[in-house]
């Protein structure tokens, strides 16, 4: 037993970690790829660097599954794969949509804040495939919120696909929007044709607070939205920012009297409780007799 333990402790790291083969990492079989990727965590820095040098050339393979596997492998290797950034940018610029999308995500994990990556992502934000734009938006939300990034995301709120617009709202939420330009753009999106976009905006605006004058009136108006989740999120946002003006209290009090959805009424009740003003307390008191 002691001999076995001694051998285990002094075996080369590559043997203990069981290096995944390149064939496994770029296999067309997704299960094989996933199992191989799990072994990457146990590798040393030197082993990872060697793997980067072996995998990067495969980004130019004729076979799409090989390119896809290479992108995923580099993403899983993280910052140690920074040397592959130029090649991943080339994939982002020229490959098919699904692989471009994966390349954007990989760049986010490897070196999103480098200027060359930022420029490549901003270019890709204009790609015709929604899946690419969505992936790019998610990575942009992780970047330092420079004026260029914020401007690009704000413009993307007008994207023709609601899925992309929803991703943009969430990305802007991560930047803690405080500028009037961003707040105005989000307020405008409270009128979006798609309810998923609207409910996402209502949730994010709770973090903006009453510093931007247009926010509170827009959320009060959203309390009348046809979708109950939007109404609920708007009430929660008003409570979060402790907006306690007469129009806000009156709108929330009206919900307690007329709203049929329990989730919305609960959100309105909690919002009034968070305000802690005499007017809010009176509205809560009057609602107790509601059947």
Q: How many helices (H) and strands (E) does the chain have?
A: 19, 0
**Is 291 buried (19+), middle (13-18) or exposed (0-12) by CB count in 10 A?**
exposed
Give every CB contact of residue 134 below 8 A, 6+ residues apart in sequence: 101, 163, 164, 167
Q: The domain that contains 218 carries what CATH number?
A: 1.25.10.10
282 domain residue, yes or no: yes
CA dist 113 and 85 (Å) reads 12
User: For residue 146, what pLDDT is reported?
Assistant: 85
Domain that holds residue 228: 212-291
User: For residue 8, what pLDDT is reported?
Assistant: 36
- Shortest CA distance to 134 belongs to which of 113, 95, 160? 160
136 with 125: CB under 8 angstroms?
A: yes
- Shortest CA distance to 60 belongs to which of 33, 87, 41, 100? 87
228 domain residue, yes or no: yes
24 domain residue, yes or no: no
284 domain residue, yes or no: yes
User: Which letter, b or e, does each residue of 9-26 get, where b requires 16 or more Cβ atoms within 10 Å of its Cβ?
Assistant: eeeeeeeebebbebebbb
CA dist 224 and 231 (Å) reads 6
CA dist 208 and 223 (Å) reads 17
- Shortest CA distance to 184 belongs to which of 163, 159, 155, 160? 155
243 domain residue, yes or no: yes
61 with 67: CB under 8 angstroms?
A: yes
253 domain residue, yes or no: yes
End-to-end CA distance of the chain: 75
Number of other residues whose CB lies within 10 A of the CB of residue 209: 16
User: For residue 290, what pLDDT is reported?
Assistant: 55
Give the CA radius of gyration of the chain.
Answer: 25
Handedness of CA 30, 36, 41, 47 (dihedral sign): negative
Q: Please tell me the total count of domains within the chain.
A: 1
User: For residue 210, what pLDDT is reported?
Assistant: 66
255-263: long-range pairs with CB below 8 Å, 24+: 255/223, 255/231, 256/283, 256/284, 256/286, 256/287, 256/290, 257/286, 257/287, 257/290, 259/231, 261/228, 261/231, 261/232, 263/228, 263/229, 263/232
269 domain residue, yes or no: yes
User: For residue 276, what pLDDT is reported?
Assistant: 85
Q: Which DSSP string do the residues of 168-188 spell out, in sequence order?
A: HHHHHHHT---SHHHHHHHHH
Mean pLDDT per 10-residue segment, the chain (291 residues): 39 54 90 90 90 95 94 94 95 93 95 85 94 95 86 94 96 77 90 97 84 88 96 95 88 94 96 90 80 51
pTM comes to 0.83
- Shortest CA distance to 247 belongs to which of 226, 223, 217? 217
204 domain residue, yes or no: no
User: For residue 289, what pLDDT is reported?
Assistant: 58
User: For residue 206, what pLDDT is reported?
Assistant: 86
């Amino acid at each position: 037993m002691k001999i076995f333990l001694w051998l285990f402790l002094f075996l080369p790291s590559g043997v203990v970690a069981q290096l995944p083969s390149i064939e496994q990492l770029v296999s067309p079989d997704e299960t094989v790829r996933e199992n191989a990727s799990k072994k990457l965590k146990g590798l040393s820095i030197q082993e990872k660097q060697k793997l980067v040098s072996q995998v990067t050339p495969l980004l130019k393979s004729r076979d799409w599954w090989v390119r896809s596997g290479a992108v995923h492998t580099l993403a899983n290797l993280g910052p140690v794969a920074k040397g592959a950034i130029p090649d991943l940018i080339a994939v982002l610029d020229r490959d098919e949509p699904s692989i471009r999308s994966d390349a954007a995500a990989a760049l986010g994990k490897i070196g999103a804040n480098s200027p060359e990556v930022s420029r490549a992502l901003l270019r890709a934000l204009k790609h015709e495939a929604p899946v690419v734009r969505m992936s790019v938006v998610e990575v942009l939300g992780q970047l330092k919120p420079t004026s260029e990034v914020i401007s690009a995301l704000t413009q993307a709120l007008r994207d023709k696909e609601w899925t992309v617009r929803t991703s943009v709202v969430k990305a802007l939420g991560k930047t803690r929007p405080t500028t009037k330009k961003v707040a105005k753009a989000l307020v405008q999106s409270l009128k979006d044709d798609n309810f998923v976009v609207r409910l996402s905006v209502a949730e994010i605006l709770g973090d903006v607070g009453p510093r931007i004058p247009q926010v509170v009136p827009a959320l009060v108006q959203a309390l009348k939205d046809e979708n109950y989740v939007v109404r609920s999120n708007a009430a929660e946002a008003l409570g979060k920012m402790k907006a306690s003006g007469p129009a806000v209290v009156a709108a929330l009090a009206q919900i307690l009297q007329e709203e049929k959805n329990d989730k919305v009424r609960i959100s309105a009740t909690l919002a009034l409780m968070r305000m802690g003003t005499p007017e809010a307390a009176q509205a809560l008191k009057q609602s107790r007799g509601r059947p």
